[in-house]
Structure 1
Amino acid sequence: MTDERSPDAPDTDDHSTGEDAGDEPPADDLEGEQELEELSLDEFHDACQQAGRPVLTAASVAQALELPHETASEALVGLTARGDIERLAVETDPVVWYPSELEDLTDRERVVVFPKRREIIVDRPEQFTRAQLSQFAHLADGNGEDGYRYVVRPEDIWQAPHDSFEGLARTMRQALGQRSNALEEWVESQWDRAHQFRLATHEDGYTVLEAKTPEVMGNVARQKLDEEHVHAPISETEDWVREGAEAAIKRILYEAGYPVQDHRDLEAGESLSIDLEVRLRDYQQTWVDRFAEAGEGVFVGPPGSGKTIAAMGAMAHVGGETLVLVPSRDLARQWAESIAEYTSLEPHQIGQYHGGRKEVRPVTIATYQIAGMDRHRSLFDDREWGLVVFDECQHVPSDVYRRSTHLQSRHRLGLSASPIREDDRQTEIFTLVGPPIGTDWEALFEAGFVAEPELEIRYVPWGDDEQQNAYVSADGREKYRIAAKNRGKIDDVRYLLSAHPDSKAIVFVDYLEQGRDLAAALDVPFLSGETPHHERRRLLEEFRRNERDLLIISRVGDEGIDLPTADLAIIASGLGGSRRQGTQRAGRTMRPAGGALVYVLATYGTREEDFARKQLQHLGRKGMTIREQTVDRSREADSGDE
């Protein structure tokens, strides 16, 4: 006779019997068991994690936690008595146990902690919980469908905005609604690591590396550093630092798992009274407050979240002369205009230093390339800056831009929508500039500060046999290039523009040839690096004033210029380049006004299709909804005839 159990019924172990499961001792019996260790809810969750389901038998708990069956049963009764879990007797199966939160899973916030994985799953999180979690955890998956997954990483603890571990522990308990001893022990160990080393200024003016104990100095710092970084030991816990080696020391020890506290007495720079003449949003004020506590940091948020305005709030807080570093002269001009518009500074107090202008003033906006050149460095080195701002700071680890980080200032601030790099050197951003400070994208979407665009990947067929045949015979990177320039995309761009006739649209391309072909087919300008600066400015201003409703733009639009708001973005090629590029391009429509659309075109059945899907996963984890559509050319032709 076969056992016709429901496929949803919990599994049982061979050695468990109905008698074992149904005759658990009452809760009162636990008082006489002196050697029984109390089972915590965290341990029950660990057992759930191992079993892969939230409903367990006593035998499953015993096996997962390596406890005697009787001990596990009695401990489960104790958890039930405290109200942490529930029990349910099933007719043909042992008693099963499950977390009490499952009773009202659908109508309230639920937080589940997995200490061993250092993960926190939150369903229906309240804004308060998100704010608390952001202080010590990283939002790894924010699509909301399967809950929000936070990961607690070492760097999150190293950069937590607290003066003591006790303060951080209180924040954790408020966010989790419980005390997780195992997680707190690990967090405390990381907190301790972050306070083992510090840079300080000696009374004679030079920099000293100080260690908390002789052991950590000898076993870590003096094993990792050499004569390029330090002159000689001063004591068992102090080393004399070579001038200019501070950034390298911070990076080396950070990579070794020991972030360095920077307590040097850097010059504050000339004072400069700055008033912000626009009110910060609550989350922007939080960014500025956290920057004020740390003295440095990187504002991380999606395009449209107001990082530039928040940076001006940081300038007002510092109240000192400020150097702003940007990737291009177009951004330098836009920064100068914005500072004049949103702060109390007069135009004569704001200078630009790049290939077109050479002005050093109390607030100076310069390009990274210029600031890194030897013949210009002295102009910036000789001035005592109160603050250096690194815009688009994901570039800072690159060899060209890195030299600008040697400029000394009392405070430094980075700005980035996506501080990730394909060479995995993103941790250097935070060692060279400061810890990440930001609000998760999903929270900004839900609060209405930034509109979440509708994003769709469209798999487009080949436009002609010639390109398809060339793709088949090509190798490596050439395959991707041919697929990206698929001439069939021109027809799909036409279709999308006709389907949204009232939208202001930007079409992005990676290749100049493709941009010229699209411009000729659609009879619109193509804005690229070859376009003179005055012509770029004219075209963008026409677009802003609604005198033009379509532009085709090359990579120059990713970061080098401040693009106007668009209702429709069509990415004809380019997302295969990097996750950061995908964020920048898709993010061009993220503004407070809603209804924006982003279409990503990828040639069907090619490497470009795989690249696009992979790169957009990064945006999906930030909370954006992504659809996929295979283009049927005949159907589109029919709809066009209508």
Structure 2
Amino acid sequence: MPGPDPASTPSAQTPPDGPLIVQSDKTVLLEVAHPAADDARRAIAPFAELERAPEHVHTYRITPLALWNARAAGLDAETVVHTLITYSRFPVPHALLTEIAETMDRYGRLTLVTDPAHGLVLHASDVAVLKEVMRSRRTTGLLGASLGEADVVVHPSERGHLKQVLIKLGWPAEDLAGYVDGEAHPIALRDSPEGVAAGEPGAFTLRPYQRQAVESFWSGGSGVVVLPCGAGKTLVGAAAMARSSTTTLVLVTNAVSARQWKEELTRFTTLTGDEIGEYSGARKEVRPVTIATYQVLTTRRKGVYPHLDLLESHDWGLIVYDEVHLLPAPVFRMTADLQARRRLGLTATLVREDGREDEVFSLIGPKRYDAPWKDLENQGWIAPAVCTEVRLTLGAGERMAYATADNDERYRLAASAPGKVAVVDRILARHAGESTLVIGSYVDQLEELAEHLGAPVITGTTPVRERQRLYDAFRSGEVMVLVVSKVANFSIDLPGASVAVQVSGAFGSRQEEAQRLGRIVRPKEDGRQAHFYTVVARDTVDQEFAAHRQRFLAEQGYSYQIVDAEDL
């Protein structure tokens, strides 16, 4: 049941002139210019989700999923309530404080535990809740015999499916049933990369936040670690593998990412190349550590997924989901059957445009660690970035073509506006001599830009070997400007890139915007800033989608300077 109400005392409801306005509809308004705005933003981030982020006032919403994530991470209702009262300008509505306490109290009233005699059991601290979920049609076939009032047997194969159902019913279960050990396999972190002595340039130790991320994940058993691009998520995965020292399946976005993971693992761990297999369209190697692409696992033939059995046919002790926010539906379904394995999700943002964050929560695990981008920037772990939106006015003919086009064609017309080529020229002239990525979503637009700039282009049809050659040439400085499609959004390490010019995006995808900025925030040896430009067509859906894409980064403390294309 809910604990004592911290809002019941008069002193608790006489807050100072804080940066927050907390409203009874669960929205929280943050005044950006307030001196305590950054502290308040960090304090509410674990339990409130950003909805809108214009210049002066940002709007957050307190959702059940955000509160359950906070509860799973160890935050209690008293802490959440205290945070709101501390930073609120006006008295916090009493009804909202009560609802926060009651919503957070729903997490953990049902727990999944292992019973020596009966195996997997759903236990309730509140018998009425157990009776309620047992009567739901959604739990039919997932539960077995009752073991008294407070316990019911769960079919082991339904562990994940039951957790999905329970969160949909509003009673998220805390999974305390533990994990199988999996097949043991020795894995350790090197004191320094191969060929580099400790203390010499190139040697490494885990950064404090990386150690904390691994500890938070391991103590929780399974879950998600959220770190900015360039902050070393792969190294966190390697450290978790070393902690587990078992056979491990790593799921990644594409074959280039798979080979990059292999290079990093052989560099930073005691694993040899022979111990690491690639399971992709080109290769089908199963080794003690196997790196598989989501694409091959979701390949469908005659209505079935022939490669998904890879997930369940081996005795994995750990499964790592790189870019977990991209999990395809078939892998979601299969992950429901893998609840006896430890699962680590890695991502720069848990935002999903399809709203399936609750499935990440129930099937991979709750958010175990989240490092704000600006915090790591201030500590020097990622490069500072300046974000600029460049607005281009369409010519009269282009504007008329846009106005008379079908809705389905309008975004393509605006996003591929010919005038963007000249804008890219001006931006590149401003940053002559800097390693620059030109990023877009439409292949014909990118090929036209590449031809105009005399630069190579990488798209989905570029062979993996050619992609790797071009990435290597870019890293070495042989190629200074590289035109790339969405295939470069994820898990591509290009540490020298300091400028990105986005000419088109995946409609209003917030996670894509974060990933694209992430291509350029690897720390620079000379400490220089990164520059992220988004070129949009004014008064079109291109501008509207750009505003939506920017929301996640605004939550992280980034602001976009808006300039006219003619003023560059």
- After superposing the two structures, state which structure 1 stretch, 247-256 or 236-245, moved more: 236-245
Task: Give the superposition deviation at 1:175.
Answer: 10
8 Å contact 2:12–2:85 — kept in the other structure?
no
SS in 2 for 1:483: helix
Task: Give the superposition deviation at 1:472.
Answer: 2.5
**Among 141, 149, 172, the residue aligned to 1:259:** 172
Aligned partner of 1:71 in structure 2 is none
8 Å contact 1:369–1:400 — kept in the other structure?
no
Task: Give the superposition deviation at 1:145.
Answer: 8.5
SS in 1 for 2:285: coil
SS in 2 for 1:415: strand
Aligned partner of 1:597 in structure 2 is 531
Q: Does residue 609 in structure 1 map to residue 522 in structure 2?
A: no
SS in 2 for 1:244: helix
**Among 420, 445, 453, the residue aligned to 2:351:** 420
Q: Deviations over 1:368-409 (max 9, x none)?
A: 243456433444423222211111111225346543553354
- After superposing the two structures, state which structure 1 stretch, 279-288 or 554-563, moved more: 554-563
What does residue range 223-622 of structure 1 map to in structure 2 within 5 Å? 223-277=136-190, 278-372=204-298, 374-396=305-327, 398-399=329-330, 402-436=333-367, 437-462=369-394, 465=397, 467-559=398-490, 561-574=492-505, 576-593=507-524, 594-622=528-556
- After superposing the two structures, state which structure 1 stretch, 151-160 or 351-360, moved more: 151-160
Q: Deviations over 1:230-281 (max 9, x none)?
A: 3444443333333432222111211222111212243111223332234222
* CA distance in structure 1 between the aligned counterparts of 2:55 and 2:538, rounded to whole angstroms: 28
8 Å contact 1:388–1:409 — kept in the other structure?
no
Distance 1:314 1:250, change over 3 A: same
Task: Give the superposition deviation at 1:140.
Answer: 3.9
Q: Deviations over 1:60-88 (max 9, x none)?
A: xxxxxxxxxxxxxxxxxxxxxxxxxxxxx
**Among 171, 190, 200, the residue aligned to 2:113:** 200
* CA distance in structure 2 between the aligned counterparts of 1:209 and 1:230, rounded to whole angstroms: 8
8 Å contact 1:42–1:114 — kept in the other structure?
no
8 Å contact 2:436–2:498 — kept in the other structure?
yes
Scaled by the length of structure 1, what TM-score is found?
0.74
8 Å contact 1:269–1:384 — kept in the other structure?
yes
Q: Deviations over 1:584-639 (max 9, x none)?
A: 1122212223411111111122221222123213321221121111222xx66xxx
Q: Does residue 629 in structure 1 map to residue 563 in structure 2?
A: yes
Asked which structure has the greater CA Rg, the reply is 1
Task: Give the superposition deviation at 1:38.
Answer: 9.2
Aligned partner of 2:47 in structure 1 is 137
Aligned partner of 2:194 in structure 1 is none
8 Å contact 1:464–1:487 — kept in the other structure?
no
* CA distance in structure 1 between the aligned counterparts of 2:365 and 2:71, rounded to whole angstroms: 12
Distance 1:297 1:404, change over 3 A: closer
SS in 1 for 2:317: strand
Task: Give the superposition deviation at 1:537.
Answer: 0.8
Q: Deviations over 1:198-252 (max 9, x none)?
A: 2233435643322223311112343253433234444433333334322221112
* CA distance in structure 2 between the aligned counterparts of 1:145 and 1:42, rounded to whole angstroms: 30
Task: Give the superposition deviation at 1:559.
Answer: 2.2
The residue identity in structure 2 corresponding to 1:288 is V
The residue identity in structure 2 corresponding to 1:196 is R
8 Å contact 1:414–1:433 — kept in the other structure?
yes
Task: Give the superposition deviation at 1:121.
Answer: 6.3
* CA distance in structure 2 between the aligned counterparts of 1:395 and 1:146, rounded to whole angstroms: 31
The residue identity in structure 2 corresponding to 1:273 is P
Distance 1:120 1:273, change over 3 A: farther
* CA distance in structure 2 between the aligned counterparts of 1:463 and 1:126, rounded to whole angstroms: 41
The residue identity in structure 1 corresponding to 2:361 is F
The residue identity in structure 1 corresponding to 2:12 is D
The residue identity in structure 2 corresponding to 1:252 is V
**Among 205, 209, 222, the residue aligned to 2:135:** 222
- After superposing the two structures, state which structure 1 stretch, 524-533 or 208-217, moved more: 208-217
8 Å contact 2:47–2:69 — kept in the other structure?
no
User: Percent identity, aligned pairs only?
Assistant: 32
SS in 1 for 2:501: strand
SS in 2 for 1:376: coil
SS in 2 for 1:365: strand
* CA distance in structure 1 between the aligned counterparts of 2:219 and 2:521, rounded to whole angstroms: 29
* CA distance in structure 2 between the aligned counterparts of 1:207 and 1:216, rounded to whole angstroms: 18
The residue identity in structure 2 corresponding to 1:364 is T
* CA distance in structure 1 between the aligned counterparts of 2:178 and 2:8, rounded to whole angstroms: 51
Number of corresponding residues: 533
* CA distance in structure 2 between the aligned counterparts of 1:473 and 1:144, rounded to whole angstroms: 30
* CA distance in structure 2 between the aligned counterparts of 1:131 and 1:603, rounded to whole angstroms: 33
SS in 2 for 1:361: coil
Distance 1:628 1:575, change over 3 A: farther
Distance 1:129 1:384, change over 3 A: farther
8 Å contact 1:569–1:599 — kept in the other structure?
yes
8 Å contact 2:159–2:336 — kept in the other structure?
no
The residue identity in structure 2 corresponding to 1:578 is S
Task: Give the superposition deviation at 1:160.
Answer: 4.1
Q: Which runs of 5+ in 2 are unaligned?
A: 1-6, 191-203, 300-304
Q: Which runs of 5+ in 1 are unaligned?
A: 1-36, 46-98, 103-109, 637-642
* CA distance in structure 1 between the aligned counterparts of 2:371 and 2:29, rounded to whole angstroms: 17
